Structure 1
């Protein structure tokens, strides 16, 4: 895990430095938080918090249109919210960590606001589950898929010349895993589990 994080840091800075030296590109760092749930489990609601850290590059392709690519570490998963009225029920946490590479297009609708949409490829570097008794043993855990493909949309707001606020929602098109056998159905969207993530992040431009 530590090795993967070090590799991500090196990759992000290489990614940004290469872009910053390009005449038509801007690059920077991003950081923020996720609120996530897993569609297909029994715990509805964006109760699982997580961090996201990485870098981005972007360029204009028209006066009001830009494209961008990002590379980031993103924590996702699911969490059963504790109910004080039902203290006897088990707790549950699913912790997922991904290296994501989103590619997006944006449309400036005003001087301060842009609408964005795109897709993201992700590689899982961590997938664990916990309950009242601790971490699930391998035999008790339904295996996760390594790769994720998400579609997303959202907004970016210019706060300062070199600082933006990004708000987006993402939903997996590929399942993170299938449902356990006793819950299986014949329908793709009902037979699998999918990441569903709300994210809020700050984007700091380095080449300004």
Structure 2
């Protein structure tokens, strides 16, 4: 993971240096939107069904123009993910809170349409578990749980699009998938899975 962070920093510095040397604009922005998340279960954990969970994301962006139709666009986002699972006993909801760092390339296809893709590093902040039955609700917040060995950082990938209505306002949609499982060894309380998220949002550039 340290190698990934070093590579991301190296790409960022290279992009800034190239942009400055060619007098291209570096645009700072902000974005926010909706997350629709679920999980991809390990083969040994297919005995329960999961449903999508609605969450949100918000954060800051950089747009560093490298070539006429190519830009380097790293982001730092606060993002909620997770899933729901319903059984005869009640409804279980797990919400995870992450800082996502997507390191993206943006290719302009024409007009305001851009394709974006690249790696992403996610840092786990906390996990909220909620179980609702006909008799009441039980909630649990986990910030640090070494017994279940939650991974505190995950490597994944992002692919999607952005449509710029102007040089200041645009919409975006993307799919993000973790390439690593959430923990090293699953347990009955924290089965092994990978996060997947569909995102739709609005972006502003300053």
- Unaligned ranges ≥5, structure 2: 1-15
Contact 2:148 2:187 in 1 (8 A): no
Question: Are residue 165 (structure 1) and residue 166 (structure 2) matched?
Answer: no
CA offsets 1:137-168 (integer angstroms, 9 cap, x no match) = 879x8442111111010000112331111100
Q: d(CA) in 2 for partners of 1:90 and 1:65?
A: 49
Q: Normalization by structure 2: what TM-score?
A: 0.74
Corresponding residue for 1:192? 192
- Unaligned ranges ≥5, structure 1: 1-18, 183-190
Q: d(CA) in 1 for partners of 2:194 and 2:170?
A: 29
Q: d(CA) in 1 for partners of 2:59 and 2:164?
A: 19
Corresponding residue for 1:150? 156
Change (3 A) 1:197 1:137: closer
CA offsets 1:43-101 (integer angstroms, 9 cap, x no match) = 344x2111111000111111111111101100011112x6xxx7x44201011001111
Contact 1:177 1:194 in 2 (8 A): no
Q: Normalization by structure 1: what TM-score?
A: 0.74
Counterpart of 1:180 (choices 186, 192, 198) is 186
1:111 to partner: Cα distance: 0.9
Q: Going by fraction, where is strand more abundant, 1 or 2?
A: 2
1:106 to partner: Cα distance: 1.2
Contact 2:119 2:158 in 1 (8 A): yes
Q: d(CA) in 2 for partners of 1:148 and 1:136?
A: 22
Q: d(CA) in 1 for partners of 2:114 and 2:166?
A: 14
Q: d(CA) in 2 for partners of 1:136 and 1:106?
A: 39
Q: Following superposition of structure 1 onto structure 2, how do residues 7-156 of structure 1 map, counting pairs within 5 Å?
A: 24-40=25-41, 42-45=48-51, 47-80=52-85, 88-132=88-132, 133-136=137-140, 142-156=148-162
SS of 1:97's partner is strand
Cα RMSD (Å): 2.6
Contact 2:128 2:141 in 1 (8 A): no
